[in-house]
Amino acid sequence: MPHDSGDCRPGVRGVVLLLCAGGVLFAGCSGGLGHRSIADLTGRLPLPPGVHRVRLEAQAGIFEIVAGSDPAVVYSGELRRAADTAEDLQGLESVPTALVAAPDPKDAGTLVVRTPAMPPQVRMQHCVLATEVKVWLPAALEVEVLVTGGGQVTVADRTGDVQLRSGHGDLQLTGCSGAAKLHSGGGSVLVYRHHGDLEVDTMVGDVQVWMQAAGRKLILVTGSGNIQCRIPWACGFQLDARTMEGRVVAKDFGLEARAQGAHGAVMRGTHGDGMTELVLHTGAGYVSVSPHVE
């Protein structure tokens, strides 16, 4: 197991979300969910020759992807189970406590890793099966994370491309330099110290981005929420910023906003060489772009 100075699990906040019936991962479930159990989820899946991408597929949970030196998918965490009845919990406990991997039949260079899934005999509306896991992968591998239900995803220190998609839940990207695409059906998005292209799309939630070095494309979109973007002064961009209800501010870049409709604002303009396409769109919220010193 790779050395890690802290606990491999995301922490108390994640535990609360997974066990509280009002948490994001329990959306759509009913009943008291009073029957619960936890199983260890630890293992290692070797990377077959020629694999350049790992796609993690899950129904629900909290996921942390970090850089590792081992040429394998190394993981450690817990499988959390909750049900209204002892019978349903027993059905959940029949699920193997391991991640499984297989090549993508459409792309031999992609390894598909799946977390434990809800068994068909269990009534999904009365139970929850959620994975809380930290995964170590070589930094240069491309990474995709696809969570069909509620999922919080954190990815750090990657040089390969990253794609994150969650039905609903917060997304966080830190210290990555590959092209990145992030989508959530509802949740906040935080990107810190990013190098390169970035596309963010969330239906509802705030978006906060701190660019270390921008690529050709920087697109941040939310259906409802604030957008804050900090970008190096030396980065030239073509700006298209707008909100249907709120304000647009480009501090220190010398660009002016104009009214759009009764309550909105729009700002377009060029800074420097205009090499980066910078799009900041929200349906309702405050939009801000400001420089930072590299």
Tally of CB atoms within 10 A around 86: 10
In angstroms, rounded to a whole number, what is the distance separating the alpha carbons of residues 249 and 271?
14
DSSP at 87 = H
- Helix segments in the chain, DSSP class H: 12-19, 86-92
Contacts of 209 (CB under 8 A, 6+ apart): 189, 190, 191, 194, 198, 200, 218, 220, 227, 228, 229, 230
Q: What is the pLDDT of residues 100-143, one digit of tens each?
A: 999 999 999 999 999 999 877 666 667 889 999 999 999 999 99
Contacts of 37 (CB under 8 A, 6+ apart): 81, 89, 92, 93
Q: What is the pLDDT of residues 221-242, one digit of tens each?
A: 999 999 999 999 999 999 999 9
Please give the pLDDT value at position 126. Answer: 79
| Mean pLDDT for the stretch of residues 167-172 | 97
Could you give the maximum distance between any two Cα atoms of the chain, in Å? 65
Q: What are the C-alpha distances in Å from 96 to residues 42, 79, 150?
A: 12, 10, 21
The more confident residue out of 20 and 285 is: 285
Please give the pLDDT value at position 171. Answer: 98
Average pLDDT over the chain, rounded to whole?
A: 89
Residues in the chain: 294
| Mean pLDDT for the stretch of residues 170-195 | 97
φ, ψ for residue 90 (rounded to 5)?
-60, -40
In angstroms, rounded to a whole number, what is the distance separating the alpha carbons of residues 241 and 234?
19
pLDDT range class, residue 292, cuts 50, 70, 90: confident
Whether the Cβ atoms of residue 263 and residue 256 lie closer than 8 Å to each other: no
Please give the pLDDT value at position 32. Answer: 80
Please give the pLDDT value at position 119. Answer: 79
Place of tokens 């949970």: 61
Q: Please give the angle made by the CA atoms of 7, 13 and 19, to the nearest 5 degrees.
A: 105
pLDDT range class, residue 25, cuts 50, 70, 90: very low
- Asked if the model's pLDDT at residue 22 lies above 70, the reply is no
Q: Rg of the chain over CA atoms, in angstroms? A: 21
Tally of CB atoms within 10 A around 218: 26
Write the DSSP string, 238-271: EEEEEESSS-EEETTTT---EEETTTEEEEEEEE
Q: What is the pLDDT of residues 61-100, one digit of tens each?
A: 999 999 999 999 999 999 999 998 898 898 899 999 999 9
- Asked if the model's pLDDT at residue 54 lies above 50, the reply is yes
Which of helix, strand or coil describes residue 17?
Answer: helix
| Mean pLDDT for the stretch of residues 164-168 | 96
